Amino acid sequence: MMKILFERTGGFMGRKISLHLNLDDLPSDQAGTLKHLLDEVDFLNLEEDKSASLYARDAFHYLVRVETEKIRHSVHVTDLSMPAALRPLIEELSRLARTKNSQ
């Protein structure tokens, strides 16, 4: 069991998008892509950015929480503080959230 909660807030318009996924309920190729992106960035070992850039005006703020049977780990970053390795995961989750919200 692996669940992902994703939220994007902030930005100039302040529009929030969110996504709740249970990877067990996704097609295997989509679940595999997300697991690969999580592994690539070593997500469960990323530390949350507690810098002042989290409060940057007009920047997008991202929350990603991953839950398994054994662990729950969250990372909160902004466009300004995001590690480059995390960007592909954020872009994929953003794409999925926009797709879900447009349906």
> For helices 87-102 and 28-40, what crossing angle results, to 10°?
150
Q: How far apart are CA 6 and CA 75, in angstroms?
A: 10
Q: Which of 13-17, 42-46, 47-51, 85-89 has the lowest mean pLDDT?
A: 47-51
* Residue 57 backbone dihedrals phi, psi, to 5 degrees: -70, 145
**55 versus 94: which is more confidently predicted?**
94
Do residues 6 and 52 touch, judged by C-beta distance below 8 A? no
* Residue 76 backbone dihedrals phi, psi, to 5 degrees: -125, 120
What are the pLDDT digits (tens) for 20-76? Answer: 999 999 999 999 999 999 999 999 999 866 664 556 667 888 999 999 999 999 999
Domain around 33: 2-102
The tally of domains found in the chain comes to: 1
pTM above 0.75, yes or no: yes
pLDDT band at 7 (very low <50, low <70, confident <90, very high): very high
**52 versus 81: which is more confidently predicted?**
81
